[in-house]
């Protein structure tokens, strides 16, 4: 009888909370969803454990998900890899932080301003411009590499932070999502604010932007992900090593090595450092992302 004590306590707790008993179908569905959630968490668990594995566990066969003897040796190795060079690993991390912050701000603001102009200011050709922006979604990134390189060259922003940021600013997905939200903003609300003497900058910053926060959070996550893990700008537009970012450094950790074992521990630690900020950003703003995907808009 003691075996069923936990079930009685669970049933009593359910009654106190006013929860109804799940049907067999709901119970099976819940079990399946929990199993799928655990399965989808395995890569995240693996990344965290892999970063703390000593070398004897990194190459064990068959590979294991959980670490047996955790160690910080991989992170110490990552810091030690640049001791004999002029550029420390902290410089690469600093560059990545600066580039990511600038890119997130510029991408979200540019997307919001472009979407606001197209949605609420019916200037001649606004539909054509919006259609052109949507058309760019069908092009693969490689098709615009030469035009971007020419723009960076003409602006003379090689080996600068702007050379990292400006090639990332144009995000058609951001304009599209922002416009869907602004379309739901009542024109009467903006007209009444204009009658009270509000200028366009006031309308945009105090009325439009607060209404766009779910979309702003979503575009911010997309921008953060693309800027934080981007190594393309370091490869194409940066000749000075001191201006390159952390993802570029991670790519060079194991390249050119005489064997496939050297620096694998440092690479595992670096992979965790690249992944962790994206995970934190999504966990913090996941409610806003869900609101955007559900097209909640103005209630």
Mean pLDDT, to the nearest integer, of 5-28?
Answer: 66
Read off the pLDDT of residues 226-269 as tens digits, 9 standing for 90 and up.
Answer: 999 999 999 999 999 999 999 998 888 866 554 566 778 888 89
Looking at every residue in the chain, the average pLDDT score rounds to 84
Query: Looking at the predicted structure, is the pLDDT value of residue 175 above 80?
Result: yes
Q: What burial letters (b/e) apply to 139-150, b meaning 16+ CB within 10 Å?
A: eeeeeeeeebee
Query: Looking at the predicted structure, is the pLDDT value of residue 10 above 80?
Result: no
pLDDT at 299: 43
Interatomic CA distance for residues 217 and 286, integer angstroms: 9
Query: Looking at the predicted structure, is the pLDDT value of residue 213 above 50?
Result: yes
Q: What burial letters (b/e) apply to 252-284, b meaning 16+ CB within 10 Å?
A: ebbeeeeeeeebbbbbbbbbbbbbebeeebeee
pLDDT at 297: 44
Closest CA to 113 of 239, 5, 205: 205
Sequence-distant (≥ 6) Cβ neighbours of residue 151 within 8 angstroms: 166, 167
Interatomic CA distance for residues 201 and 207, integer angstroms: 10
Q: Report CA Rg, the chain.
A: 25
Interatomic CA distance for residues 10 and 16, integer angstroms: 10
Interatomic CA distance for residues 293 and 128, integer angstroms: 25
61 backbone dihedrals φ, ψ, rounded to 5°: -130, 130
Answer with the residue of higher pLDDT: 62 or 166: 166
Query: Looking at the predicted structure, is the pLDDT value of residue 189 above 80?
Result: yes
Closest CA to 288 of 221, 226, 229: 221
Read off the pLDDT of residues 102-136 as tens digits, 9 standing for 90 and up.
Answer: 999 999 999 999 999 998 888 888 889 998 988 88
């Amino acid at each position: 009888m003691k075996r069923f004590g936990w079930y009685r306590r669970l049933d009593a707790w359910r009654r106190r909370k006013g929860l109804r008993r799940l049907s067999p179908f709901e119970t099976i569905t819940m079990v399946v969803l929990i199993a799928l959630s655990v399965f989808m968490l395995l890569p995240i668990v693996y990344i965290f454990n892999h970063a703390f594995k000593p070398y004897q566990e990194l190459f064990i066969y068959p590979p294991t998900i959980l670490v047996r003897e955790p160690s910080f040796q991989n992170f110490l190795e990552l810091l030690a890899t640049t001791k004999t060079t002029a550029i420390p690993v902290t410089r690469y991390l600093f560059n990545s932080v600066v580039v990511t912050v600038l890119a997130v701000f510029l991408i979200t603001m540019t997307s919001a301003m472009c979407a606001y102009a197209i949605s609420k200011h019916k200037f001649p050709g606004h539909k054509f411009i919006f259609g052109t922006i949507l058309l760019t979604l069908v092009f693969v990134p490689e098709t615009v590499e030469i035009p971007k390189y020419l723009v960076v060259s003409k602006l003379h922003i090689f080996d600068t932070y702007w050379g990292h940021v400006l090639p990332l600013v144009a995000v058609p997905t951001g304009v599209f999502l922002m416009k869907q939200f602004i379309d739901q903003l009542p024109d009467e609300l903006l007209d009444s604010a204009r009658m009270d003497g509000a200028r366009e900058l006031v309308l945009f910053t105090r009325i439009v932007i607060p209404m766009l926060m779910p979309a702003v959070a979503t575009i911010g996550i997309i921008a953060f992900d693309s800027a934080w893990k981007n190594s393309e700008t370091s490869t194409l537009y940066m000749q000075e090593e001191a201006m390159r970012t952390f993802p570029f450094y991670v790519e060079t950790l194991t390249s050119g090595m005489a064997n496939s074992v050297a620096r694998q521990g440092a690479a595992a630690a670096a992979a965790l450092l690249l992944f962790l900020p994206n995970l934190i950003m999504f966990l913090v703003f996941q409610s806003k992302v869900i609101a955007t995907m559900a097209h909640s808009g103005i209630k």
